Amino acid sequence: MTADKPLRADARRNRDALLAKARELFDQGCFDLRFDDFAKLAGVGTGTLYRHFPTREALAEAVYREEVAAMCDRARELQDTLPADEALAAFLRGFVSHLDAHRGLADTLAALMTTRTEALTEGGQALSQAITGLLDAARKAGTVRDDVGVGAVMMALQGICAAYNHPGSANDADGVITLVLDGLSLKGADSRR
């Protein structure tokens, strides 16, 4: 399958079915399944699976790319519908909520994507751009500091992802987001300087 050639409607449905089933199974932590079983559980043929995703890692990469694209779409949607500071806060808190609701998916993708550095790099860049857009809008609105960059926010999110496997992770992660938002806010920036 080439990236330039659009998929036929039936091929698109089959690919989407494979991705939906893989996302569901990965979310449940089912990464030790025989690879051919993904096809059976998605209701498609094994040849269809291998045509779209020749390896388990390729399937995980496609799921990861869709997850990142959905998060970036969510950032744009929030930016279009909420005041800038609320959009930033909603995105960051939504990131943590998504991580909490889909911990199995995050763990599975992390385990399967260890060698997919290009996909991870591209995903990080896409999220960074989405957050940059939210930060820029909030700066223009005069609600966040202009001396803290997207790198600090990304580092906080990466730290949350890396440290999420303990009891109370959701509350702790929300606390980190509160610290990030308080640190970005202009409402007290003068007292911190």
Q: What is the pLDDT of residues 110-162, one digit of tens each?
A: 776 666 678 888 988 999 999 999 999 999 999 999 998 999 999 999 888 88
Phi, psi of 185 (to 5 degrees): -65, 140
**Model-level pTM?**
0.85
Do 34 and 63 belong together in one domain?
A: no
Residue 29: pLDDT band with limits 50, 70, 90: confident
Do 21 and 103 belong together in one domain?
A: no
* CATH code of the domain covering residue 148: 1.10.357.10
CB 114 within 8 A of CB 37: no
Do 106 and 42 belong together in one domain?
A: no
Domain of 14 in residue numbering reads as 7-54
pLDDT of residue 57: 85
Residue 2: pLDDT band with limits 50, 70, 90: very low
Give the residue from 54, 72, 87 where a domain finishes. 54
* Residue whose C-alpha is closest to residue 90's, from 146, 163, 81: 81
Q: Domain total for the chain? A: 2
Could you tell me if residue 124 is inside a domain?
yes
Could you tell me if residue 2 is inside a domain?
no
Do 78 and 28 belong together in one domain?
A: no
pLDDT of residue 5: 66
H-only helix segments in 4-102: 9-27, 35-42, 46-52, 56-81, 84-101
Could you tell me if residue 64 is inside a domain?
yes
